[in-house]
Amino acid sequence: MMVRALALAALAFTVSTAARAADPRYPNWPCAQAKVPEISLAAVWAGPELGDAESKWKDDSKISALVARLAARKTPLDEAEKSVKEFLAGSADKTANAKLLFAGLFDTLNAQRSQVMSGLERVSRKQREAADKIRAETIQLQALQDATPRDDAKVDAMSNQLIWETRIFEDRRKVVRFVCEVPTAIDQRLFALGRVIQQEME
Residue-range domain boundaries for the chain: 2-13+53-201
Query: Do residues 138 and 5 make contact, with C-beta atoms less than 8 angstroms apart?
Result: no
* pLDDT for the residue 19: 45
For every one of its 202 residues, what pLDDT tens digit does the chain have, with 9 covering 90 and above? Answer: 555 555 555 555 554 554 455 568 888 899 988 888 888 898 899 888 999 998 999 999 999 999 999 999 999 999 999 999 999 998 888 999 999 999 999 999 999 999 999 999 999 999 989 988 888 888 898 898 888 888 889 989 988 998 898 889 989 889 998 999 999 999 999 999 999 999 988 7
* pLDDT for the residue 13: 52
Give buried/exposed letters for 57-85 (b at 16+ CB in 10 A, else e): beebeebeebbeebbeeeeeeeebbebbe
pTM score of the predicted model: 0.80
* pLDDT for the residue 33: 85
Complete DSSP assignment for 33-93:
SPP-SS--HHHH--SS--TTHHHHGGG-HHHHHHHHHHH-TTS-HHHHHHHHHHHHHT-SS
